[in-house]
Amino acid sequence: MVGGEVRLRQTHSGLRDGGGIDRGALGSYTETMGLMCRVFRLAVMVCVLCLGAWPAAAQGDAHGAATARAFARLRDDPVRLLAFLAAMPKGADLHNHLDGAINAEDFVAHAVAVGLCIDVGQHAIRRPPCTKQDPPAGEALARDAGLRDAMIDALSMRGFVAVPGGETGHDHFFATFAKFHEAAADDPGALMATEARRAAAEHIAYLEIMWTPHVRSAIGLAATMRWQGDDFAADLAALGGGLRGLVARARAETDAAEARKDALLGCGTPRAQPGCGVVIRFQAYSLRTFPPAAVFAQMAFDFALAAADPRYVGVNIVAPEDDKVAVRDYTLHMRALGFFHHAYPAIKLSLHAGELAPGLVAADALRFHIRQAVEIAGASRIGHGTDVMGEQDSAGLLAEMAHGHVAVEINLTSNAQILGVQGAAHPFGSYRRAGVPVVICTDDEGVERTTLTDEYVRAAETWHLSYGELKSLSLASLRYSFLPAGEKARLEGRLDAAFRAFEERF
């Protein structure tokens, strides 16, 4: 406007001093005034647009600030904290085992309903034919009033207290799976429906569930191959057509399980339950405690299934990481996963790695598991990662994970029960200080008697987290999911809307 002001002064001066109309000056004056009018109109339009947008943005900021203040007042009150976090939107649970997520009570009820047997001595569910030692579940429970409680304790961590020289939390936890396996294997669609109902009640939008149909059949494929070990391409070729047939069977079972889940929830009908709105995808997994050929065959199946079926968004490896076979073959497993990841670059890996603690394994096993999962296998996410500070050059590894956006699935209750790692001894704070992405997960909420809400409560209490930090953890759970970009963006939009509605209450 400086130039405009000079020209305007010159024009006024010409009009006064010349006594007549200076056509050039008049043209200049008109041009200047027209420019000023256009600028003024543009400024008015911008102001109108800004004023239209300002109330919504300012209101959203005000609601968020009010929510943060409310949370600060209740954070130290356990009852109010639980109620607040139960209502807060929580994005996703990215580390979730299908069978381990189900409550022991549900497995016992299922055993009665379909006529499974109970091994009274081992407090385990068995498949018929039942015997005097393994009577029908209904009959056994009717005869022994205390058996139901004993079964629930045996199939979960309820009430478990380790005593010197007795069963450890680690051993009790891993023993539960064999005890309820027969009930879990019967009806995976019903298990999915149970998970979807619970997720909806907890305001969880997305579940990334570890489930692999026909995993035992994949182990059996190893018998058809001549394992070489030093030539993964030849080992893969040796599996032949059996792999394709198994993938087709697994996809059909996934169809059936999802149809069963939808039917139980009433999806697509006027009676649809809120669980129908929970998006569920799967990670195919391999059991790491089998001989090398059997683990390799499982991996080949997992990657082939994920490549053929978009419902399988990633690959994992499970079972106790401290098992003697798992420790012995750990580097071999990472190399094999790296081989498949190179062959299927679009398929992402979330690997159980560093689920260890000092004393559980020899000290040298604590020094490289997470690093190899990241650098050799190519993991995009790490499950547990509790022993990261024992890794060789832990600071360098943390910096590498932060730079590569390798997220860590934090399972606080699981780590406390299985490994005794909790509170200040847990690396949750170390990951965050290093800039490594973290997400809060459940692991096996049925076995552990926890929920995703409980895990948020535990994190908030242990590290005195603010509302903003908890909200960031919820948003990160979708950001680091393995969903395709379009679907991830849609769910992120839903989560943003859910947070706006939640914050309006404050």
Three-class DSSP category at 264: helix
Q: What is the arithmetic mean of pLDDT over 469-490? A: 98
Measure the CA–CA gap between 173 and 99, rounded to whole angstroms: 13
* Structure-token pair, residue 313: 């968004």
What would the pLDDT profile of 434-462 be if each residue is shown by its tens digit? 999 999 999 999 999 999 999 999 999 99
Give the confidence band of 15 by pLDDT, cuts at 50, 70, 90.
very low
Give the rounded distance of the alpha carbon of 454 from its chain centre: 15
Which of the two residues, 15 and 395, has the higher pLDDT score? Answer: 395
CA–chain centroid gap for 495, Å, is 15
Q: Give 116-131 pLDDT, tens digit per residue.
A: 999 999 999 999 999 9
In this structure, the chain runs to a length of 506
DSSP state at residue 100: G
Q: In CATH, which superfamily holds the domain spanning 78-99+184-501?
A: Metal-dependent hydrolases (3.20.20.140)
Which tens digit of pLDDT belongs to each residue from 161-200?
A: 999 999 999 999 999 999 999 999 999 999 999 999 999 9
Kindly report, residue by residue over 323-340, the tens digit of the pLDDT.
999 999 999 999 999 999
Residue 349's pLDDT band (cuts 50, 70, 90): very high
- Per-residue pLDDT band for 27 (boundaries 50, 70, 90) equals very low
52: phi then psi, degrees, rounded to nearest 5 = -70, -35
pLDDT of residue 317: 98
Among the residues of 75-146, which ranges form H helices? 78-87, 104-114, 137-143
Question: Is the predicted pLDDT of residue 26 greater than 80, yes or no?
Answer: no
E strand residue ranges, 107-162:
117-119, 124-126
Cα–Cα distance between 90 and 199 in angstroms, integer?
9
Tell me the C-alpha to C-alpha distance, in Å, between residue 26 and each of 2, 6, 134, 141: 19, 14, 108, 104
CA distance 307 to 301: 10
Contact call for residues 290 and 333 (beta carbons, < 8 A): no
Q: Sketch the domain layout of the chain as residue ranges.
A: 2-67, 78-99+184-501, 103-183
Measuring CA to CA, how many Å separate 145 from each of 140, 148, 151, 299?
9, 7, 11, 45
